[in-house]
Amino acid sequence: MISIAWRSICNRWATALLAVLAIAMSVALILTVEKTRRDARNSFTQTVSGTDLIIGARSGSVQLLLYSVFRIGSATNNVSWESVEAIQKRSAIKWTIPISLGDSHRGYRVLGTTLDYFTHYRYGDKQPLSLTAGDVFDDVFDAVIGSEVARELGYQVGDNIVVAHGTGDVALVEHDKQPFRVSGVLAPTGTPVDQAIHVSLTGIEAMHIDWRNGAPVKGASTPADAIRAMDLQPTAVTALLVGLKSRATVFREQRAINTYREEPLLAILPGVALQELWRLVRVAELALMIVSVCVVLAGLVNLMSVLLAGLSERRREMAVLRSTGARPAHIFLLLCIESLVLTLAGIVAGLVLHYVLTGIGAIIIRQQFGLSIALTAPHTNDLKILLAITAAGFIAGTLPALQAYRKSLADGLSQRL
Amino acid sequence: MITLDSVRFHWPAQSEPVISIDSFSVERGERVFLKGPSGSGKTTLLSLITAIVSPQQGTIAVDGKLLNTLRGSQRDQFRVDHMGLVFQQFNLLPFLSIHDNVTLPCRFSKRRTLRATDSGNTLKTEADRLLNAMQLSASELNNRPVSDLSVGQQQRVAVARALIGKPPLIIADEPTSALDTDTRDAFIDLLFKEASSANCTLLFVSHDAGLATRFDRSVDLAAINTVSASSPVQGGTT
């Protein structure tokens, strides 16, 4: 039966190919949507592992999460250095990583921080950052660059870079008086860390020494050595990542910071804020999922119509099969096998297409958002989806099969056309 | 081989009977020519003998088996086990090779597979033998698609298929009406030769009375079917 079904399909390869293609595209779409959704979540979750609290100026928790960790959007306000010091003195707090954003270098964000960043920041499965070359920053004008910055801009340890104010791709005012030197290159992490240029907080201050009110002071040019000699205490940072001695104190600490009297601050739990983010994007996800499911259904309806349309021109074929001993049940089975074969072929082609799409998509997403999407074996969720599509394809085949069954019963062996 | 007794049949949607045969029989090994004009109920009679439909009254026995004792799927099995069928045209599946077309009944009938291979032949060599007997050189035709064959060649492949596994009864429904006279005569020669070497009973249906003389016996359906002469032409007949 299978070989007859197969050869019958080959005989009508053009329509069969179209049916397979329709299913393949729908399968590729649904898998890609599903994978993007999953990987985006994964990637977001992996970016903030081991951080108990994120503290910033009072705004929305999702906004704080996005600009502090994912470098999406920008801060509305800063956290004063006094507050940072007050928080650092709290007994429950184990470590803090101050983050100062707002400058860029050729489209990549410059992140001012302390050495604690390299000791305490964790990504993925609580993995620490590591350097592939050079060392962490030591001097005011040292910079540690992310792996992608190094790769894309071709920087090596010892190269000089010029930092621009603002975060656009093309910055009009450059801090060209104080060039920085690449002191180290970080190993790839698959997180926005890869896209950042890390300098010390004093480095951030140093860049702005000859600036007043967001513009460079004409003619002013303080030599680097003079700057090094200055006491460059930062006045404010953008956000503060906090690790606690005990996770049990997290809600108490959060409340304490949220009710801090000296300055309006906001402390968020990254996990909770992520959940909030997921709630926001769930509508979009759902819409995408519904569209993909509809596309799959369209593919299956197409399969059904191809099989149904084929029936009338295949009445003769059915009659020949019947006259040589095929029972109506065989005819039913034949059609079911055909729909199954076409669905499976569509799924295989769809998987191939999906991997091609994610291969291309991964490059774009990495460039745009710094999120890594790896080519992996199908997730169990994907397998469930594929199984459901197979079952749906089989069911879609039963209607034409039933039709063929009835017709072959009614037609008998006669060769009516 | 075939015995009809007091058979009355009308199509479900109609009340007028199309077949009313008191008695008709074909002996084992006989070659019977069944003639009748269009609309005389030839195809309906064949549907009855091949157990596609059941008569409302009377009994039909084929190869000693009363057809009305068989259930739906048993009828299908009985048909493929005991009968080889050849139709007017379009007998072959275009997507199967000539060989696969010939051995097609053996996919559905264990009995015919066994009988086709009991001489020690494989199905393939048996199909080759039959094709050769039908003057279709296997080596020459085998790799060609079915659609490349002429109508006469296609009909001979259909006969080879009807004969494979030596079913006791061969029913040919207007197998020559798409053929020209020369091809027709050669076709009937081959059909007779192979049917007798396989000890098959042959029921040959045609409106072409000129062929009748070549058969053991010729039966005019209009003579045995008491309704056909007076009744208007009913649906379901050709």
pLDDT digits (tens, 9 = 90+) for B88-144: 877 888 888 888 889 999 988 899 998 888 878 888 888 888 888 888 876 667 678
Smallest Cα–Cα separation from A272: which of A48, A37, A88, A75?
Answer: A48
The whole-chain average pLDDT of chain B stands at: 84
Mean pLDDT value across residues A224-243: 80
Q: How far is B213 from chain A (nearest CA, A)?
A: 27
- A221 and A308 together in one domain: no
pLDDT for the residue numbered A217 = 59
Q: Which residues form the domain of B181?
A: 2-228
Identify whether B233 is part of a domain: no
Chain B residues in contact with A330 (beta carbon < 8 A):
108
From the candidates A9, A316, A323, A334, which should be mutated to test the interface with B, based on the most B CB atoms within 10 A? A323
- Are the beta carbons of A7 and B95 separated by less than 8 Å? yes
Residue that wins the pLDDT comparison between B159 and A232: B159
- A240 and A157 together in one domain: yes
Give the length of chain A.
417
Closest Cα in chain B to A1:
B107
Q: Which of A218, A240, A268 is the last residue of a domain?
A: A268
Identify whether A27 is part of a domain: yes
- Are the beta carbons of B47 and A4 separated by less than 8 Å? no
Both tokens assigned to A5: 């079904």
Chain B residues in contact with A316 (beta carbon < 8 A):
90
pLDDT at A168 over 60: no
pLDDT tens digits, A114-139:
999 999 998 877 888 989 888 888 88
Size of interface A-B (CB pairs under 8 A): 63
Out of A290-299, A402-411, B40-49, B227-236, the most confident range is: A290-299
pLDDT at A416 over 60: no
| Total count of domains within chain B | 1
- A341 and A400 together in one domain: yes
| Side chain identity at residue A250, one-letter code | V
Q: Worst-scoring range by mean pLDDT, A211-220, A247-256, A367-376, A380-389? A: A211-220
**Contact (Cβ atoms closer than 8 angstroms) between residue A62 and residue A277:** yes
Q: How far apart are alpha carbons A355 and A22 in whole angstroms?
A: 17
| Side chain identity at residue A385, one-letter code | I
pLDDT at B233 over 80: no
pTM of the model: 0.72
Q: How far apart are alpha carbons B71 and B49 in whole angstroms?
A: 15
pLDDT for the residue numbered B229 = 47
- Are the beta carbons of A415 and B95 separated by less than 8 Å? no
Closest Cα in chain A to B108:
A325
- Are the beta carbons of B90 and A4 separated by less than 8 Å? no
- Are the beta carbons of B47 and A10 separated by less than 8 Å? no
Q: Is B11 on the interface with A (CB under 8 A)?
A: no
Smallest Cα–Cα separation from A342: which of A371, A299, A287?
Answer: A299
Cβ-Cβ contacts under 8 Å for A131 (sequence gap 6 or more): A144, A184, A185, A186, A187
Determine the straight-line distance between the first and last CA of chain B, rounded to whole angstroms.
25
Q: How far is A195 from chain B (nearest CA, A)?
A: 59
ipTM surpasses 0.90 = no
Q: How far is A10 from chain B (nearest CA, A)?
A: 8
pLDDT for the residue numbered A178 = 63
- Coil, strand or helix: which one is B45? helix
pLDDT tens digits, A8-19:
888 888 888 999
- A227 and A195 together in one domain: yes
Q: How far apart are alpha carbons A198 and A111 in whole angstroms?
A: 5
Q: Worst-scoring range by mean pLDDT, A242-251, A287-296, B4-13? A: B4-13
Q: How far apart are alpha carbons A255 and A268 in whole angstroms?
A: 10
pLDDT for the residue numbered A34 = 86
**Contact (Cβ atoms closer than 8 angstroms) between residue A243 and residue A92:** no
pLDDT for the residue numbered B169 = 93
Identify whether A393 is part of a domain: yes
Q: Which of A241, A268, A295 is the last residue of a domain?
A: A268
- Are the beta carbons of A320 and B90 separated by less than 8 Å? yes
- A34 and A93 together in one domain: no
Strands (E), A252-335: 265-268
pLDDT for the residue numbered B125 = 87
Nearest to A10 among B88, B93, B95 (CB): B95
**pLDDT band, very low/low/confident/very high, at B236 (cuts 50, 70, 90):** very low
Cα A151 to Cα A111, A328, B205: the distances in Å are: 18, 65, 84
Identify whether A10 is part of a domain: yes
Q: Which residues form the domain of A253?
A: 53-268
Closest Cα in chain A to B79:
A325
Out of A68-77, B39-48, B74-83, the most confident range is: B74-83
pLDDT at A401 over 60: yes
Identify whether B154 is part of a domain: yes
Q: Worst-scoring range by mean pLDDT, A222-236, A323-337, B210-224? A: A222-236
| Side chain identity at residue A282, one-letter code | R
Q: How far apart are alpha carbons A343 and A115 in whole angstroms?
A: 56
Q: How far apart are alpha carbons A210 and A295 in whole angstroms?
A: 59
pLDDT for the residue numbered B181 = 84
Chain A residues in contact with B160 (beta carbon < 8 A):
none
- A32 and A63 together in one domain: no
The radius of gyration computed from the CA coordinates of chain B, to the nearest angstrom, equals: 18
- A196 and A247 together in one domain: yes
- A373 and A253 together in one domain: no
- Coil, strand or helix: which one is A142? strand
Mean pLDDT value across residues A232-261: 89
Identify whether B236 is part of a domain: no
Identify whether A274 is part of a domain: no
- CB burial readout A180-206, b (16+ within 10 A) else e: bebbbbbebbbbbbbbbbbbbbbbbbb
Cβ-Cβ contacts under 8 Å for A50 (sequence gap 6 or more): A120, A121, A122, A126, A243
Closest Cα in chain B to A327:
B76
Mean pLDDT value across residues B58-78: 88
Determine the straight-line distance between the first and last CA of chain A, rounded to whole angstroms.
24
Mean pLDDT value across residues A218-239: 72
Cα B212 to Cα A62, A171, A228: the distances in Å are: 94, 102, 120
User: Using CA atoms in the order A344, A347, A351, A357, what is the torsion angle rounded to 10 degrees?
Assistant: 150
Identify whether A247 is part of a domain: yes
Neighbours of B30 (CB within 10 A): 15
Q: How far apart are alpha carbons A270 and A44 in whole angstroms?
A: 10
Q: Percentage of residues in chain B with pLDDT exceeding 70?
A: 93
Identify whether B235 is part of a domain: no
pLDDT tens digits, A331-373:
888 888 989 999 999 999 999 999 998 888 778 776 666 666 6
**pLDDT band, very low/low/confident/very high, at B235 (cuts 50, 70, 90):** very low
Q: Is B93 on the interface with A (CB under 8 A)?
A: yes
Q: How far apart are alpha carbons B18 and B1 in whole angstroms?
A: 23
Cβ-Cβ contacts under 8 Å for A85 (sequence gap 6 or more): none
pLDDT at B154 over 70: yes
Chain B residues in contact with A406 (beta carbon < 8 A):
none
What is the pairing mode between strands B83-86 and B31-35?
unpaired
What is the pairing mode between strands A174-186 and A160-165?
antiparallel
From the candidates A13, A324, A338, A416, which should be mutated to test the interface with B, based on the most B CB atoms within 10 A? A324
| Total count of domains within chain A | 2
pLDDT for the residue numbered A144 = 93
**pLDDT band, very low/low/confident/very high, at A413 (cuts 50, 70, 90):** low
Nearest to B108 among A11, A326, A414 (CB): A326
Residue with tokens 């928790």: A61
Q: Is B44 on the interface with A (CB under 8 A)?
A: no
Closest Cα in chain B to A325:
B80
pLDDT for the residue numbered A281 = 85
Give the bridge partners for B99, in sequence order.
none
Mean pLDDT value across residues A176-190: 82
DSSP string, A124-135: TTTEEP-EEEE-
Identify whether A277 is part of a domain: no
Q: Is B52 on the interface with A (CB under 8 A)?
A: yes
Identify whether A275 is part of a domain: no
CATH code of B102's domain: 3.40.50.300
Q: Which of A245, A268, A291 is the last residue of a domain?
A: A268
The whole-chain average pLDDT of chain A stands at: 84
Identify whether B184 is part of a domain: yes
